[in-house]
Structure 1
Amino acid sequence: MWSPASGSISTVALAHGAGAGMEHPFLAGLAEALVASGVSVLRFVFPYVEAGRRMPGPAAHAVATWAGVQAWLAGAAPGPYTAVGKSYGGRMASVAAAEGVIAPAGLVYLGYPLHAPGRADKPRAAHLPAIGMPQLFVEGENDPFIDPRAQFDEVVASCQDARVQWIVGGNHSFEVKGARRPADEIGAGLAPVVAGFVRSL
């Protein structure tokens, strides 16, 4: 879904997480707010969603999808773009970038799934130091996917160019206990962070 912004000078490719497609209110709210701030947004789905399946397929399929997204943007919006993804979508962008399949100006991970909750012994981080472009980890302070924090801090430190934007009290979906908000509002609330990083590249 291509949403060009009026007078846009920045473009974002926005990928969904493992459990929801591109129409999820979180992504819709984020995309709408980004477009309103002058950033054009391309939302897309991975093959397993298109096939009506709930669980992600092989990583190679997602990497190939990211390659297709880059190729499409080269025609529709020539120039640099930033790869942004919620959880699984961001991780797959990082794999594609580490393998040299895509070359975005930067990457934004909205809740990087470093490991499954309670499985810190199986981190998904070996490829991250190979990424040369700037990376922004947007993380909820109470996200079980990056607990223990010390392990996550080590992973970020191992990257060539990475920074973290902490969301106070946020979980993996950026929900804050005691401050209930609709998902589209939560997504829109992250737009200034994402847009600020995109414009800094």
Structure 2
Amino acid sequence: MADVRVLRAGSGPVDVAGVLLTPGAGATRDNRTLVVLDAALAAVGVPVRRVDLPRGAAAAPARVRDEAGAFAAELGVPTGRLVIGGRSFGGRMCSMAVADGLPVAGLLLLSYPLHPPGKPETLRVEHLPRVDVPVLAVSGASDPFGTPDELAAHLASLAGPTTLVVVPGTHGPADAPVVAAVRAWLT
């Protein structure tokens, strides 16, 4: 873990009842990273629900809200006790749901797609200042969807406390450092 860098530290969520995880574009709830993270969190007693999202930014935030509501009801808690997030597109859709008012305990942004590769002028950040919950962003040091410096600059606009952990790799970093960052942030 010597190659892991924390660029900006904030506090993590407290009193988390469960974690809702969503996949990147074109992936499913059975994405390798989500499955490994699910098992690691289950091993420490944190309930996890992995869900698929529809393609397209129009319908996906509504699915996040619906799934968060159903998971919270199953756990017998309000959505404000859940951490939600996911890989790439999934994390972005969760951040949009939170920005639009979904109350949650925290947000996980794993390999956040700040911009398309090679197009840093095409940012996906307009909603970020409305995110007011604790956020953990984990990104590969050479992710073509956003450099660590670009992410740090844009995540600074978040209204809630933010932690950015940079791990070795690109847009699909190894699972072990991602899982370690999430577990450390949640506990």
Same fold per superposition (TM over 0.5): yes
Q: Within 5 A, what are the aligned runs for 1:36-55?
A: 36-47=43-54
Aligned to 1:70: 68
Contact 1:111/1:140, CA 8 A, preserved across alignment:
yes
Matched residue type, 1:75: A
Aligned to 1:196: 184
The offset of 1:84, in angstroms, is: 2.0
Taking structure 1 as the reference length, the TM-score comes to 0.78
User: Following superposition, which runs of at least 4 residues in structure 1 exceed 4 angstroms of deviation?
Assistant: none
Aligned to 1:10: 17
Matched residue type, 2:179: A
Give the Cα separation in 1 of the matches to 2:150 and 2:31.
Answer: 30
SS of 2:47's partner is strand
Deviation per residue, 1:109-130 (Å, 9 max, x gap): 0100000100100110111011
Aligned to 1:50: none
The higher-RCO structure (CA 8 Å, 6+ apart) is: 2
Residue 35, structure 1, aligned to residue 49, structure 2: no
Taking structure 2 as the reference length, the TM-score comes to 0.84
Distance 1:158 1:42, change over 3 A: same
Q: Within 5 A, what are the aligned runs for 1:23-172?
A: 23-47=30-54, 56-57=55-56, 59-79=57-77, 80-100=81-101, 102-147=102-147, 149-160=148-159, 161-167=161-167, 169-172=168-171
Contact 1:82/1:198, CA 8 A, preserved across alignment:
no
Percentage of pairs with the same residue? 35
Contact 2:137/2:162, CA 8 A, preserved across alignment:
yes
SS of 1:190's partner is helix
Matched residue type, 2:83: T
Q: Cα RMSD (Å) of the superposition?
A: 1.8
Matched residue type, 2:28: G
Matched residue type, 1:141: A
Give the Cα separation in 2 of the matches to 1:33 and 1:23.
Answer: 15
Residue ranges of structure 2 left out of the alignment (5+ in a row): 1-14
Give the Cα separation in 1 of the matches to 2:16 and 2:166.
Answer: 27
Give the Cα separation in 1 of the matches to 2:171 and 2:76.
Answer: 33
Matched residue type, 1:35: A
Matched residue type, 1:193: A
Deviation per residue, 1:30-57 (Å, 9 max, x gap): 211111122110011113xxxxxxxx22
Aligned to 1:173: 172
Count of residue correspondences: 169
Give the Cα separation in 2 of the matches to 1:9 and 1:162.
Answer: 17
Give the Cα separation in 2 of the matches to 1:69 and 1:162.
Answer: 24
> More helix per residue: 1 or 2?
1
